[in-house]
Structure 1
Amino acid sequence: MHIYSLIFTLLLMGLGGGVAAQRIVPLMATEYPPPGEGAATQKIIGLLKERLEKDFPAPERTLRDAHPKQHGLVKAEFTVSEHIPAEYRVGVFAEPRTFHAWIRYSNLSGQKKPDIAKDSRGMAIKLMGVEGEKILPEQAAATTQDFVFMSTQIFVTKDVKTFGKLLKSINGGKLSAGAFFLTHLGLLKLFASVNIQVADMFDVEWGSTTPYLLGDRAVKYAVLPQTPSGATLPTGTPSDNYLRERMVQTLKDGAVYLDFYIQVQTDAELMPIEDPRVEWSQDLSPFVKVATIKVLQQTFDTPAQQLYGDQLSFTPWHALPVHRPMGGLNRGRRAIYDTMSKFRHTRNGEVSQEPTDWKTFE
């Protein structure tokens, strides 16, 4: 057999002939951007602007496109553990210390939706006193670092393209959204699973849903209550704002303690970077505690502090490079969060500024 024919025959066998094809295993902490991601991101931005202009006609104050209902902006201390394994002592976790922080709690859906309704909830943390150049050029010198969480460990779509289609269907009204879900039953199932009723915001188990760098590793974050209160859902016809009211009472009586964890990617196939629909198994990689959060005893439910919380911006891209967001959803977030924050603040005649420490409100 001619040498070239022999090589060709061997290649065919290796690609699925007489010899089993070799499985291509994705590399750890590696991203695989799909084509068309940038265009899909711009479509999402257009849809979000369209929705905000419809929902908040001038001169009405424009709220966030997501998580507009704020339960409260609270003061917290973020204390990095003394017992972190050496390989994870990176960035804000490099050494034991305590950062002052703002934490914003919210509902994903509209401001007027009652708290008892099923919804996805949000927690955004802003550490202050974090030295080092940040990723976003306009905030490179800011001394803050953000972490954003949802009341779930997964996201409902694999990529920004699918998320854009979902958003377009929702913008089109109930019939449009219903038709979309009927043709995307898997997405409907995920969507239903992340929309939950919550008894107490301090009892929620929070997940970053998307991965981040930790030096040269990929990790996800989680925040869990140290001692859940055991609160139950209110009965009868509860207040539309019972989640905020319960937060007010809890923090009037004392502090709340939460644990901040990382989960390190140990299997690139079973713990994918590019598919946040997949929950990373704790059997493959247990949570590792890296910090304790103390939500201080305080009074936070004042109009001035509520407004300040509404004016603050949170983005996973406001971070040190060693904590860079990863995966398609996060790549889309970079442009979406930045553009929509500027759009909202411009409509409100405000300028978003990063804090340097806690403020006192009258």
Structure 2
Amino acid sequence: MPIKPPVPYTPEVESVEEDEQKTIAELNETFDIILDKTAEDYGHAVRSVHAKAHGILEATMTVKDDLPPELAQGLFARPGTYKTYMRISTNAGDILPDAISLPRGLALKVVDIPGGRLPDAEGSTQDFVMVNSPVFQAKNTKKFLGSLKMLAKTTDRMEGTKEVLSDALQGINTALETVGLSSPTVQSLGGAPDGDPLGQTYYTVTPFRYGDYIAKFSLRPVNRDLTALTGKQIDTKDQPDAIRDAVQAEMQHLAGEWEFCVQLCRDLEKQPIEDPTTQWDENDAPFMAVATLRAEPQDSWSDANVQKVDEAMRFSIWTGLAAHEPLGNINRACKATYAHSAKFRASFNRCPIHEPTS
């Protein structure tokens, strides 16, 4: 069956619920519980999600030449090379031992991007925030709020119990995967595979405007240095920062190369905008590479980059071009909640957060 043409973007592809702002306000209140608790415990404010970083990389994004018109959109409308920062993380709002195996994240900040900006988007950067799963664990903001309230009650408590639970959940997730199934819920509670983050593929899980069209994004390792790490397990037993140590050791000598890929929406029923728990089937909507990222050997946990990137920057899907406007209720909720978290960190730590230039 031939691949359908991409669906044109119009504002009507989104469906806003009447009480969405009320739910977003409750999300901020719940995030405050996490922010206040962790700041009190650490004496230092951390992010309300993806608090623990495992590596900070400097890379170069190169947009491909001669892209077809449907792919030559927004940031990728013309060839170019851009400095990029990469932050590898774990999705919890507290800083946990790596043995508690939660989904891993990878955020990109592409620097000095020309073009019209999203409302309130500072600087001239384009951010992408991804996780190592193609789907989100909650269908909408209300269901996410319920999960977040549960997580807020366990923030920074019972680390030993969390490790035991994580071991059990990893076994359940492995059993599910052997029969061709996986559970984002099980993974979000601590059953995610504990593989090397440099060898994994990352996804935005939610859709975005892609110039004239609609898309999800992914980042996949392509060179031998990285693909050799795909599926590699890191021993986290009695090593709370095992992933950070492994990434730092590996990046001292290897070069990383990834493809940045676009998955265009081609059928709004099969590829819905408002339900991020639905995986867009690649047979109907294939991922296509539009750029490459390359990171040369480096110290992935240098004091300078930890301060510059982990402390003094924020990564938000609402920092970027109007051509890549976030779509769907989960993305709409992220605008206020990410800004809220960043404002709290800046105030508590007395460290202004800013957008970089090259």
Which stretch shows the higher mean deviation, 125-134 or 107-116?
A: 107-116
Q: State the partner residue of 2:303.
A: 303
Residues in 1 aligned to 2:211 and 2:305: alpha-carbon distance in whole angstroms:
35
In structure 1, what is the equivalent of residue 264 of structure 2? 264
Q: Which amino acid aligns with 2:326?
A: P
Separation in 2, partners of 1:106, 1:298: 18
Tell me which of 199, 208, 214 is aligned to 1:203.
199
Aligned to 1:217: 213
Q: Aligned AA for 1:345?
A: A
Q: Deviations over 1:228-279 (max 9, x none)?
A: 1246224583622222222212221131111110000111011000000000
Q: Which moved more, 1:125-134 or 1:62-71?
A: 125-134
Distance in 1 (alpha carbons) for counterparts of 2:218 and 2:296: 20
SS of match in other structure, 1:223: strand
RMSD of aligned residue pairs (Cα, Å): 2.2
Partner of 1:19: none
Q: Distance in 2 between matches of 1:237 and 1:59?
A: 23
Divergent runs of 4+, >6 A: none
Distance of 2:184 and 2:206 partners within structure 1: 15
1:70 aligns with 2:53: yes
Query: What's the CA shift string for 1:155-194, capped at 9, x where partnerless?
Result: 011111111122122223499xxxxxxxxxxxx9431145
Alpha-carbon spacing, 1:58–1:155, altered in 2? closer, same or farther (3 Å): closer
1:116 to 70, 91, 99: 99
Alignment match, 2:228? 229
Write the letter of the residue equivalent to 1:38: Q
SS of equivalent to 2:67? coil
For 2:23 and 2:94, the matched residues in 1 are separated by 27
SS at match of 1:106: strand
Task: Name the CA distance, whole Å, in 2 between partners of 1:66 and 1:106.
Answer: 9
State how far apart, in whole Å, the 1-side matches of 2:239 and 2:342 are: 30
Is 1:192 aligned to 2:191, yes or no?
A: no
The number of residue pairs the alignment matches comes to 317
Question: 1:79-98 alignment to 2 at 5 Å?
Answer: 79-98=62-81
Q: Which moved more, 1:119-128 or 1:234-243?
A: 234-243
Aligned to 1:4: none
Residue 158 (structure 1) aligns with = 139
- Which digits, 9 at most, give the CA deviation of each residue in 1:87-115, with x for residues without a partner? 22111101111100101111112554222
CA–CA distance in 1 between the matches of 2:260 and 2:52?
A: 24
Q: Relative to structure 1, is the Cα distance of residues 172 and 111 closer, same or farther in structure 2, using a 3 angstrom cutoff?
A: closer
Q: Which moved more, 1:28-37 or 1:289-298?
A: 28-37
The 3-state SS of whatever aligns with 1:88 is: coil
Matched, 1:143 2:124: yes
**CA distance, structure 2, for counterparts of residue 128 and residue 324 of structure 1:** 17
Once the 2 structures are TM-superposed, how far is the Cα of residue 138 of structure 1 from its aligned partner? Answer: 5.5
Structure 1 unaligned spans of 5+: 1-26, 176-187, 358-362
1:123-167 residue CA offsets vs partner (Å, 9 max, x unmatched) = 11000121223213261xx12111110111100111111111221
The AA in structure 2 aligned to 1:240 is P
Structure 2, unmatched stretches of 5+, are 1-6, 158-181
Q: 2:255, 2:121 → 1: CA distance?
A: 35
SS at match of 1:33: coil
The 3 A distance-change label for structure 1 pair 292 and 125 is: same
| Residue aligned with 1:294, SS | strand
The residue type paired with residue 292 of structure 2 is: T
Could you tell me which of 146, 169, 186 is aligned with 2:150? 169
Whether the aligned pair in 2 keeps the contact of 1:72 and 1:309 (CA below 8 Å) is no
Q: TM-score scaled to structure 2, two decimals?
A: 0.83
Larger Rg: 1
Corresponding residue SS for 1:57? helix
1:13-92 pair list within 5 angstroms: 29=9, 30-57=13-40, 60-92=43-75
Structure 1 range deviating more: 263-272 or 240-249: 240-249
Shifted more, 242-251 versus 33-42: the winner is 242-251
Q: Which one-letter code corresponds to 2:108 in the other structure?
A: I
